[in-house]
Structure formats: C-alpha cells, structure tokens
Structure 1
Amino acid sequence: MLTSGAIVGLSSVSVTCVSYAAEGWGVGEVWHDGSRLVWHELPRPAAGPPIGRRARARETPSQGGVKRPPPSSSTIPAKGARVSRRSAVKAEQLVHTLNAYFEGARPDFRGVEVDVDGWTPFQLDIARALRAVPFGEVVSYAELAQLAGYPRAQRAAGTFCARNRFPLVVPCHRVVSADGLGSYGSLGLDYKRRLLALEGVTL
C-alpha cells in the first residue's frame, strides 16, 4: 500500500514538496511549482519514515540546509513560506500517479510538464526521445542518441541520464548499455532492475 505524505514546504515561487511512501521501496519526494515538476526523488529506504506510516509534516530547512535541493535557488523552499494551493494540488496529483506506477499500473507520465529552464537544445532533444520510449521497452545509450538525432553523442546521452532529476517522468531507467543494465547512480543496478521488472523487462 502507498501513502502520500504531507506538504512540507514552499519557496518564493510557490514550490511545494510532497513526500510519498511506496511499500517495499521507501519514501520519495515530488517538488512542483503548480505548472511544472521541478524535482522528483525516487523512493528509498533512508529517505523518510518507515514504510506503511504516513510521512509526517516537517519544517523545510532554508537553502543552506536542503540536502537534495532542486537545481536553482529560485525553487528551493524557504522556511515559513506560504502554501500555494495550485502547486499543492499538482504535486498531490503526481503522487497519485506515482503510487499507481509502484502498484504495477501503467500510468502515462508524458503529459507531466517538467522544468527545462536553462536546458540546451541537445538536452531537450534527448529528453523528448527518452520520454517517447514506451513502458516495458528499453533502448541502448547509442540508440537513444540516434533517436534524438545525435548518433555520435552516446556518452553525452549517458551523462544526461546520470543527471536526470525527473526519474520515471523522464524514464532514464529504460536506457541500458549494449551488454547489460548500464548504471543507475547512487540507487544502483538492483533498483534499476526492479523498476524494469515492474514493466515486465528482465535483463
């Protein structure tokens, strides 16, 4: 069973952070400004309260104390900031969609708008190609680069995946190496393998 957490903070641009718990996975976070997703932290065991318990509201730290902040200072929650109803609703809606995914459903994340401020044309093209990879399918890093129109940019495509701050919404877990799973940052290959298994992919 999955439980969404409480709203924990806003910034001057009304970014809401909502924690959610996925049974067997851990606790993740969604940061939303009411129009765009600005950060998604995949659930992990050390990220919050024990599985099965509702995430308790906590005071969001100031910029200097945020452990995994969104990429720009304008989206970092400020202590005591006022809650934006729109950003709260959007964050909760996305949490429900994520809940469905971890329960084994096939939600479509392609309609979720993400914060691409400052992205290069290359990054935008890679993200578009990546979001077009269907549920239950995988591509190699070389294939991703080719799909995006940059057939010689395999390494750069891999770098984009490694720095992706919208996992599942921009599904970097569906990109593998030519001879195996590739990598999946600090979460590791077992986590990536589990995500793919949810989609019926065994590697």
Structure 2
Amino acid sequence: MTQGESERAKLAMSCALDLSTLLLGRELTSTRHTNMDAQRDNKRFKSIIETLSRYFVGERVEFTDIPIDLSNCRPFQRDVLNITRQIPYGEVRTYKWIAEYLGKPKASRQVGQALARNPVAIIIPCHRVIGSDGNLTGYGLGLSMKRQLLTMEGSFSHNR
C-alpha cells in the first residue's frame, strides 16, 4: 500500500465515523432508537462504507443519495453545503462560483468559512472547490490530501 493509499484509507475511516451520527440526525444510542432502527441504520451504514471503499480505490461514485442531516447548520452554510454536494465527480468549482450561484458575489470568503465547517468531507465534496485562480486553497485535511483526491478524480492539473 502506498502512502497515498494509506492516507486515503485513514480518511475513509474518519468519514465513516463522522457519518454514524449525521445520517439520521440523531445519536445512534438514542433512547428512542429501536431494534428495527438499528437494523436499518446498520444496512445503510454498511452500504455507505462500501461506497466509500469503492471511491477510495478510484471508482467513480456519487454520494448525493446519502441522507445527511444539516439542520444544525446555519442557513448560509446549509446552502453552500447543498450546492457543493452537487459538484460532479471529476469537476471543480470556485468559491466565487458558489457565492455567485447563491446571489452573493462578494461572499467568496464566507463560502470558504462555511466549507471549513463541512461535517462530512468526501460525502459533501468540499475538496472540489478551488480558488478563482485555479490554485488549491484551504482544506481541513491538508492541501496534499486535496491534491490526491482531485488527482484521483481526474480533475487536477499538476500545473496548478
């Protein structure tokens, strides 16, 4: 296993752990969590882990059908995350593009701040958002990981 593959495997596990509470908007240990809920959640969680595994070996997958509760996010952040979630595999958008899409052309910095608090990296692909000049900027998991993910998806030019 290469260092890049090892880093991606660690990221996959981190994503899986984050998802355990975000998928349904409640703690899995909730007192109202029934056995039937647990069985359904377990199947859903296994499916997501399988999808993440396929993603991290380079298979083109989409995560848009995974339910994620963003009710704890402020409205602007929720809007940014929902738009970012729609960025297709292998494509990138700029912070400015997202701001303009939201009708707030001067809010590029606020878009970056909203993405910095992304609760589920990869599932909401904030790594697909780059600077207006085409450079890689800001990524909580490091620019090296952002570069690896974009390269794996075929949307990164080493000239950036």
Q: Calculate the TM-score normalised by the size of structure 1.
A: 0.62
Runs of 4+ with >2 A deviation: 22-27, 35-38, 74-78, 118-121
- Aligned-partner SS, 2:6: coil
What CA distance in whole angstroms lies between the structure 2 residues aligned with 1:90 and 1:155?
A: 35
Residue pairs, 1:29-178, within 5 angstroms: 29=14, 30=16, 31-32=19-20, 36=23, 75=27, 84-178=38-132
CA RMSD of aligned residues (A): 2.6
Percent sequence identity is 34
What CA distance in whole angstroms lies between the structure 2 residues aligned with 1:192 and 1:37?
A: 27
What CA distance in whole angstroms lies between the structure 1 residues aligned with 2:55 and 2:81?
A: 20
| 1:181 and 2:136 are equivalent in the alignment | yes
Contact 1:141 1:175 in 2 (8 A): yes
Letter in 2 for 1:36: L
Q: 1:121: Cα distance to partner?
A: 2.5
- Aligned-partner SS, 1:118: coil
Q: 1:183: Cα distance to partner?
A: 1.2
Structure with bigger helix share is 2
Structure with bigger strand share is 1
| 1:24 and 2:20 are equivalent in the alignment | no
What CA distance in whole angstroms lies between the structure 1 residues aligned with 2:105 and 2:24?
A: 29
Q: 1:120: Cα distance to partner?
A: 2.7
Q: 1:118: Cα distance to partner?
A: 2.6
Residues 98-151 of structure 1: per-residue CA shift (max 9 Å, x gap) = 011111111111111111123232222212211221111111111111123322
Residues 62-102 of structure 1: per-residue CA shift (max 9 Å, x gap) = xxxxxxxxxxxx63858xx9872221111111010001111
| 1:197 and 2:113 are equivalent in the alignment | no
Q: Calculate the TM-score normalised by the size of structure 2.
A: 0.77
Aligned residues: 144
Q: Unaligned regions of 5+ residues in structure 2, if any?
A: none
- Select the structure with the greater relative contact order (CA < 8 A; seq sep ≥ 6): 2
Q: Unaligned regions of 5+ residues in structure 1, if any?
A: 2-21, 39-73
